[in-house]
Chains A and B, each alone.
Chain A
Amino acid sequence: MSDTTQNGSVLAADGTPLKRSLARALRRQKIRALLLIAPLLLFVMLTFIMPIGDMLFRSVENDIVSKTLPRTVVALRDWDANSGEAPGEEVFTALAADLQIAAEAKLHTRVGSRLNYETPGISSLFRKAGRKVKKWDVENDGPFKEQFLKIHKGWGDPDVWRTIQTYSPKFTNGYFLNAADLQKGADGPEWRPEDEQIYWLLFKRTMFMSMVITISCIVLAYPVAWILANLPARSANLLMILVLLPFWTSLLVRTSAWKVMLQQQGVINETLVWLGLVADDARLVMINNQFGTIVAMTHILLPFMILPMYSVMQTIKPTYLRAAKSLGATNWTAFWRVYFPQSIPGIGAGSILVFILSIGYYITPELVGGTKGVFISNRIAFHISSSLNWGLAAALGAILLAVVLVLYWAYDKIVGIDNVKLG
């Protein structure tokens, strides 16, 4: 069968090393397996991994400035931003040349809006200048500094030029700084003015509310999962359909239903007023705030908690409880010391699922969250579809992704990811 050569490696029957022989034998299997998953792999690459990669890249990409204004960027290199004066004639000459080309291609407004994210007002400078520069003869009409200042005196503002200089490299951390409520100051990053800090608050709120939603899901789901796991199969299946029922209803419908329930003229308030528990002029505010978001999202995410809990609890045999009782434990001790520890993997799996889902949830907070109950995802959506600041949206998304990964890592360290059972 096998033989051993002098250097200790095992040989197959035909004399080739056993390792190589085995690898050859397994290669065909591997290729087949690869071919079988190839369509899915391709699909995932094209629709998931590549868009995400592209989006993440956008959070640092900044070549629009150096591409549209190449000469200006070079000419600005020697300008001292702290001099308190606008740069000299050679920079304006370069800018005129760049802008003329850019205006032909209608690219000058894009640079304008890109730089406008950093210093508001720049956008209109570029728009106005672009219109005029088109008619100039770049070779002979100089000097240009005066003419630019005539178009708009903003061109003489050193802050405008500082912004152009700061954002001239191909890559920038500007979006990330912005996403963390920082900005580029004269000496490196500095906090934005207090009244402009919104992202830090949104991140904190997203974390806090996701945590509250996860905890309320655990509290509500545990008894349900327990009953499901301990009922005879027939009734358990019936109840399981009730648990899954929400999945067959549109998310929008369910969220809107909560609007009907919770609003000030809604079912709950009307009932409370009718019962006399709440005065008519002091109706409870339960929607368009954090409370509404938490209630609606707990309801929507509850099945994601029940299902993993149920699948874990199903594997816990009732004899464990009986054994504990026969050993002298009361019902509570038997549950707490024997049943509960064995159900933790289900709680862990459900919590990870619910927390990660809720941290990136968008529709429900958008509909019932008002201003106090919106999540960071709503801000990301705003930058994607309204302000069109995709770079900032990408940076916020990247931070969110990093937070989830860190939490996942922490969970693995504390509880152990092997303990998670999803089914």
Chain B
Amino acid sequence: MADASNHDAFVEFERVQKSYDGENLVVKDLNLSMPKGEFLTMLGPSGSGKTTCLMMLAGFETATHGDIRLGGTSINNIPPHKRGIGMVFQNYALFPHMTIAENLSFPLEVRKMGKSEREEKVMRALDMVEMGAFGGRRPAQLSGGQQQRIALARALVFEPELVLMDEPLGALDKQLREKMQFEITHLAHRLGITVVYVTHDQTEALTMSDRVAVFEDGRIQQLAPPDKLYEEPQNSFVAQFIGENNTLEGVVKEINGGVALVQLDNGDLIDAKPVNVSQPGERTRVSIRPERVEFNKERMPEGAHTLKAEVMEFIYMGDIFRTRLRVAGKDDFFVKTRNAPDQVRLTPGQEIEIGWLAEDCRALDA
């Protein structure tokens, strides 16, 4: 988890709490530390406290308790306009009564920069997002994607070291969103800026970030690089929230050599990797990714426990096949297979055996 005493930390949250009404904590004990140049995403369902954290960092909300530090100094009492943090808002918040160039020039003007220097920086920022020809237009004359680029350029034009983005791609369509994800990450790495990015879209979080903080119930549930988050979720919330996931519930029978034997509620036995369980008798919820389930007997790991399954539905999705199975009395168990020439297409009603590597199946908290 986060190490709050990290001396290289650029952005630090230390034991931060936030309450709006004095009765409920929206953010409970947040500890987070980011090195310079990192792209960190706060991911979580709505109401999980991620936007509140961003607003506290930007200075629009004050922390009820705890310390927020930027570059080693506490910024709790510094007003937002003195923090020098760039911010991209959900609906861009481009000033409608100003042209694009005036929008970009605004942060430079309030910093009392000279006219020629301003114009040069504005031009450079516009070129950076490939919008050089649009300086004279008004925001309403631009498409959503173009406005997005301008909002980005405006947040970067005064060269902040930290940029916050609050669901900046939420209003774009899927294709444009993917293109912009790519562009934002490249720009951030090229300029070497530190980015805190808030989203509820897990694909966005996984593809863009160096590290992802998964928020739920006012706490960081897990803070890890995307691959670790996906493959090694620390608890069942993270496993459920990130990617597709099959869960089975049962009781730990024994733990032996890094492998836990779990007895499911219908009596079947499976192998799993103990993550949040330490001794026999504990209830657990095991989690397995649909693409890690194997039903081809030849490829099945040796000596593994297998489960009987009945094919309920076969869904053709183009690049992959999704097959819905009935496993251990539950009929929402999915298997994903690649659409390859030699791939088997299961038919509904078929009885098969499924299995997996013990380390792909994680025994988490119940």
Known contacts A322-B60, A333-B110, A337-B106; A327 and B91 CB within 8 A of each other: no
Instruction: Tell whether A323 is near chain B: CB-to-CB under 8 Å.
Output: yes
Cβ–Cβ < 8 Å partners of B87 in chain A: 322-323, 326-327
Would A327 and B96 count as touching, CB distance under 8 A?
Answer: no
Chain B, 238-275, contact with A by CB distance < 8 Å: what is the 0/1 string?
00000000000000000000000000000000000000
Q: Mark B92-108, 1 if CB is under 8 A from A, else 0.
A: 01111100000000110
Asked whether any CB of chain B lies closer than 8 Å to the CB of A319, the reply is yes
Cα(A323)–Cα(B95), bound, Å: 9
Contact among B82, B84, B89 with A323 in the assembled complex (CB-CB below 8 Å): B89
Q: Taking the complex as formed, is A367 at the interface, i.e. its CB lies under 8 A from any CB of chain B?
A: no
Q: Closest CB of chain A to B97's CB: distance in Å? A: 5
Return chain B residues, CB-CB under 8 Å to A317. Answer: 91, 93
Name A322's contact: one of B86, B93, B94, B106 (CB within 8 Å): B93
Which residues from A are CB-within-8-Å of B85? 326
What mask results when residues 305 to 344 of chain A are scored 1 for a CB within 8 Å of chain B, else 0?
0000000000001011011111111110110011001100
Distance in angstroms between the alpha carbons of A322 and B96 in the assembled complex: 14
A337: nearest chain-B partner, CB-CB: B106
A342–B97 contact, CB under 8 A?
yes
Question: Across the interface, which residues of A come within 8 angstroms of B106, CB to CB?
Answer: 324, 327, 329, 337
Asked if B110 contacts A327 (CB within 8 A), the reply is: yes
Q: Judge whether B81 and A325 touch: CB under 8 Å.
A: yes
C-alpha spacing A265/B79, complex, angstroms: 52
The one of B60, B90, B94, B158 that contacts A328, using a Cβ cutoff of 8 Å: B158
Chain B residues near A342: list those with CB within 8 A. 95-97
Chain A, residue nearest B87 (CB): A326
In the assembled complex, the Cα of A416 lies from the Cα of B30 at a distance in Å of 51
Report B21 CB to chain A, min CB distance, Å.
13
* A329 touching B110, Cβ below 8 Å: yes
Residue of B with least CB distance to A344: B97
Closest to A342 in B: B97
State the Cβ distance, A141 to closest chain B Cβ, in Å. 83
B93 touches A323 (CB 8 A): yes
Given A319-B91, A342-B96, residue A326 in contact with residue B86 (CB < 8 A)? yes
Q: Is the CB of B111 within 8 A of A328?
A: yes
Given contacts A325-B80, A333-B110, contact A320 B95 (CB under 8 A): yes
Which among B84, B90, B96, B154 has the greatest number of chain A C-beta atoms within 10 A? Answer: B96
Tell whether A327 pairs with B97 under 8 Å between CB atoms, given A319-B90, A337-B106: no
Q: Which of A165-189 contact B (CB under 8 A)?
A: none
Question: Which residues of chain A have C-beta atoms less than 8 A from B107's C-beta?
Answer: 327-329
- Nearest B residue to A327 via CB reads B107
Label chain B's interface by main secondary structure: loop
> A338 and B95 in contact (CB under 8 A), knowing A322-B89, A323-B87, A325-B80?
yes
Known A326-B87, A327-B110; contact A319-B81, beta-carbon cutoff 8 A: no
- A342, B107: Cα distance in complex, Å: 18
B198 to chain A, nearest CB (A): 14
> Within residues 107 to 130 of chain B, which ones have a CB less than 8 A from any CB in chain A?
107, 110-111
B58 contacts the other chain (CB 8 A): yes
Residues in A with CB closer than 8 Å to B158 are 327-328
Q: Give chain A residues whose Cβ lies under 8 Å from the Cβ of B80.
A: 322, 325-326
Residue of B with least CB distance to A330:
B81
Q: How far is the CB of A292 from chain B (nearest CB, A)?
A: 39
CA distance in complex: A323, B87 (Å): 7
Is the Cβ of B58 less than 8 Å from the Cβ of A326?
yes
* A16 CA to B82 CA, complexed, in Å: 70
B79 neighbours in A (Cβ, 8 Å): 325
- C-beta contact mask, B318-330 vs A, less than 8 Å → 1, else 0? 0000000000000
Contacts of B58 in A (CB 8 A): 322, 326
Asked if B97 and A319 make an inter-chain contact with CB atoms under 8 angstroms apart, the answer reads no
Instruction: List residues of chain A with CB within 8 A of the CB of B60.
Output: 322, 325
Shortest Cβ distance from B83 into A: residue: A326
Q: CA–CA, A329 to B82, complex, Å?
A: 9
Mask for B145-161, Cβ within 8 A of A = 1, else 0? 00000000011001000
Complex formed: what's the CA distance from A323 to B152 in Å?
12
**Which of A320, A325, A328, A334 gathers most chain B CB within 10 Å?**
A328
Query: In the complex, which residue of chain A has the Cβ closest to the Cβ of B97?
Result: A341
Contact B81–A326 (Cβ < 8 Å): yes
Q: Cα distance A322–B86 when bound, in Å? A: 11
Given contacts A322-B60, A323-B87, A337-B106, whether A329 and B93 have CB atoms under 8 Å apart is no
Q: How distant is B161 from chain A, measured CB to nearest CB, in Å?
A: 14
Bound form: Cα–Cα A327–B86 in Å: 6
- Interface pair B81/A329, CB less than 8 Å apart: yes
Which B residues are CB-close (under 8 A) to A326? Answer: 58, 80-81, 85-87, 155, 164
Closest to A323 in B: B93
Expressed in whole angstroms, the minimum distance between the Cβ of B292 and any Cβ of chain A is 43
**Bound CA–CA A329/B80 (angstroms):** 9
- Output the least CB separation between B111 and chain A (Å): 6
Q: How far is the CB of A228 from chain B (nearest CB, A)?
A: 21
Residue of A317, A323, A325 ringed by the most chain B CB atoms within 10 A: A323
Q: By the criterion CB–CB under 8 Å, are B84 and A320 in contact?
A: no
B-contact bits for A284-322, CB 8 A (1 contact / 0 none): 000000000000000000000000000000000101101
Residues of chain B within 8 A (CB-CB) of A337 are 106
Q: List B contacts of A341 (CB < 8 A).
A: 97
Identity of the chain B residue whose Cβ is nearest the Cβ of A319 in the assembled complex:
B93
CB distance from A345 to the nearest CB of B (A): 10
Question: With A322-B60, A322-B80, A323-B87 given, is the CB distance from A328 to B93 under 8 Å?
Answer: no
CA–CA, A136 and B86, complex, Å = 102
A291 to B84, CA, bound (A): 50
Q: Which residues of A contact B59 (CB under 8 A)?
A: 325
Shortest beta-carbon distance, A325 to chain B, in Å?
4
A330 to B: closest C-beta gap in Å = 6
Tell me which residues across on chain B come within 8 A of A320, comparing CB atoms.
93, 95
Shortest Cβ gap from A249 to chain B (Å): 38
| Docked complex Cα distance between A118 and B9 (Å) | 93
Q: How far is the CA of A324 from the CA of B95 in the complex (A)?
A: 9
The interface residues of chain B lying within 8 Å CB-to-CB of A322 are 58, 60, 80, 87, 89, 93
Contact B89 A319 (CB under 8 A): yes
Q: Which A residues, 184 to 199, have Cβ-Cβ distances below 8 Å to chain B?
A: none
Besides A322-B58, A326-B58, 12 other A-B contacts (C-beta < 8 A): A319-B89, A319-B93, A322-B89, A323-B93, A325-B81, A327-B86, A327-B87, A327-B106, A327-B110, A328-B111, A329-B110, A342-B96
The 28 sampled A-B contact pairs (Cβ below 8 Å) are A317-B91, A319-B90, A320-B95, A322-B60, A323-B87, A323-B93, A323-B94, A323-B95, A324-B106, A325-B59, A325-B80, A326-B58, A326-B155, A327-B81, A327-B87, A327-B106, A327-B110, A327-B154, A327-B155, A328-B158, A329-B81, A329-B107, A330-B81, A331-B81, A334-B81, A337-B106, A338-B95, A342-B96
Which residues on A are within 8 Å of B, measured CB to CB?
317, 319-320, 322-331, 333-334, 337-338, 341-342
| Pairs A-B, 6 closest by C-beta atoms | A327-B107, A323-B93, A326-B87, A319-B93, A325-B80, A341-B97
